[in-house]
Amino acid sequence: MSSFPGVGDPIPDIAMQTPDGGSIKPSDFRGSKLVIFFYPKDDTPGCTTENKDFSALKDAFEAAGTKLLGVSKDPPARHARFIAKHGLTVPLASDAEEGGLSDALGVWAEKQMYGKTYMGMVRATYLIDAAGRIARIWDKVKVAGHAAEVLEAAKAL
Residue 113 — very low, low, confident or very high, per pLDDT cuts 50/70/90?
confident
Q: What is the pLDDT of residues 63-87, one digit of tens each?
A: 999 999 999 999 999 999 999 999 9
For the chain, the structural domain boundaries read: 16-156
25, exposed or middle or buried, with CB in 10 Å at 0-12, 13-18, 19+? middle
Q: Which residues are catalytic?
A: 47
The DSSP bridge partners found for residue 36 are 69, 126
- Range from 1-5, 35-39, 108-112 carrying the lowest mean pLDDT: 1-5
How confident is the prediction for the chain on average, in pLDDT?
96
Whole-number Å distance between alpha carbons of 126 and 129: 10
| Domain 16-156 class, CATH top level | alpha beta
Per-residue pLDDT, averaged over 145-153, amounts to 98
